[in-house]
Amino acid sequence: MARRKKGQAISGWINLDKPYDLTSTFAVGRIRRLFDAQKAGHAGTLDPLATGILPIALGEATKTVPFLVDADKGYRFTIAWGRTTATYDREGETIASSDVRPTPEQVAAMLPAFIGEIDQVPPAYSAIKVDGERAYDLARAGETVELAARKVDVFDIRVVEAPDADHITLDMDCGKGTYVRAIVRDLADALGACGHVSALRRTRVGRFRQENAVALETLENLGYEARQSEALLPVETALDDIPVLAVTDEDAFRLKQGRSIVLVPRQVEAVKAGLKPGSRTVSAMAGGTMVALCEMRAGRLEPSRVFNL
């Protein structure tokens, strides 16, 4: 006899506004316990020193995590001039200092060089694996970490404010894998200055935005009244730009059994119109409920992830 899973079969997303000095893993654990969920995960690690959007998946929503990890993101961050640290944030040991204080106008003039597809070397203190080890573990052990440059997309980066000569705040919209700390490192170098990230907030992950994010304290207060489910978003929230196809109950039954279904020509055309270049992924729904994520091939939908909702 199969062992019964602990917890409740709850599925959906929480758009968590992660507080300062809390790891992503600890945040997931808190949410999982609050909902007594059988399964939980997050879409994209957020450093303990950062605040902001940390989408947390419960139950069947964990099957859509890869789509959100690849989503575009937004950040607001503050640079403190005068000191470069080993980690490029305020917690690191000082490795260089300078009296240079770039003006907002000088920063703004340099920003176009950081927009578009750029080559970026990730910080040594990052979660990237080197020979099976996390780069930050090797760096903390005193080893020299050399990471290869990689292509990242920066859609926009702009000056928000400069409260004083020692600080400047920027907003950035970017694709996956872009490191704010590396942007700050390279921007400071280009300006002949020293600087590090003194504050960092993630403002957006795909459709998850800070305007409708929920604080951990708010969730816990809702939990005291058994109302935490009010903050739960549908599983399909993570599937921002994947076309949706309504299927019949009969076709839904076939997909849930792992069998493909045949599409009529008008369905094929409707799906093709919504597909991103190079993508075949389609979301099949029946009666407003997610049935499966499918691949469209030769006029058929083949299920790749089936949802038990």
What are 27-60's pLDDT values in tens digits? 999 999 999 998 999 988 888 889 999 999 999 9
pTM above 0.75, yes or no: yes
* Residue 47 annotated in active site: yes
Is residue 1 over pLDDT 50? Answer: no
Is residue 186 over pLDDT 90? Answer: yes
Q: Name the least confident of 101-105, 119-123, 145-149, 184-188.
A: 145-149
What are 75-122's pLDDT values in tens digits? 999 999 999 999 899 988 999 999 999 999 999 999 999 999 999 988
CB-hemisphere CA count at 13 Å for 148?
4
Which of these is catalytic: 17, 21, 36, 47?
A: 47
Is residue 126 over pLDDT 80? Answer: no
Rounded Cα distance, 10 and 35, in Å: 8
3-class SS string, 25-56:
HHHHHHHHHHHCECCEEECCCCCCCCEEEEEE
- The two tokens of residue 308 are 């038990």
**Domains contained in the chain, CATH given:** 12-71+208-237 (3.30.2350.10), 73-205 (3.30.2350.10), 241-306 (2.30.130.10)
Distances (CA, A) of 10 to 13, 27, 202, 229, 230: 10, 17, 26, 9, 13
Q: Name the least confident of 15-24, 92-101, 223-232.
A: 223-232
Is residue 141 over pLDDT 80? Answer: no
